[in-house]
Amino acid sequence: MNKCQWFFNPTPNVEYYHDIATGLVIGQCHPIAHSVIFLAKVWITSTEEKVLGQYISMLFAKSAVESYWMNEYNTVTDKPVLGHNVPF
């Protein structure tokens, strides 16, 4: 069961990916300036972010954020996943 969902903010045309249980925003997609290119990024900690890339559509950008967190969840490590609750 997915524990994250997208929230759309219509004013700046930004979509936020957040953990439902904690309310933490863990991803963001938005157009670059006034173009048709979209930027996807995730937050590693509260002060560190990672840009995943520039995409031709919001759909591809959102998919990149979701894939990033799915990969993080499925990676076996000795440390907690980036200090967040596991989003999936």
pLDDT tens, residue by residue, 28-43: 999 998 889 999 999 9
Number of domains observed in the structure of the chain: 1
Contacting residues for 8 by C-beta, under 8 A, at least 6 apart:
14, 15
How far is 8 from 38, CA to CA, in rounded Å?
Answer: 14
What pLDDT is stored for residue 47 in this prediction? 87
Q: Does 84 reside within a domain?
A: no
Share of the chain above pLDDT 90, in %: 48
**For residue 78, what are the β-bridge partners?**
none
Res 78 pLDDT > 60: no
Residue listed under structure tokens 């967190």: 69
Would you say the pTM of this structure is higher than 0.75? Answer: yes
Q: Does 83 reside within a domain?
A: no
Q: Does 64 reside within a domain?
A: yes
Position 77 confidence tier, pLDDT thresholds 50, 70, 90: low
Q: Does 69 reside within a domain?
A: yes
How far is 25 from 57, CA to CA, in rounded Å?
Answer: 21
* Cα distance between the two ends of the chain: 7
Domain that holds residue 61: 4-74
Q: Does 81 reside within a domain?
A: no
Q: Does 79 reside within a domain?
A: no
List the structure tokens of 33: 């300036």
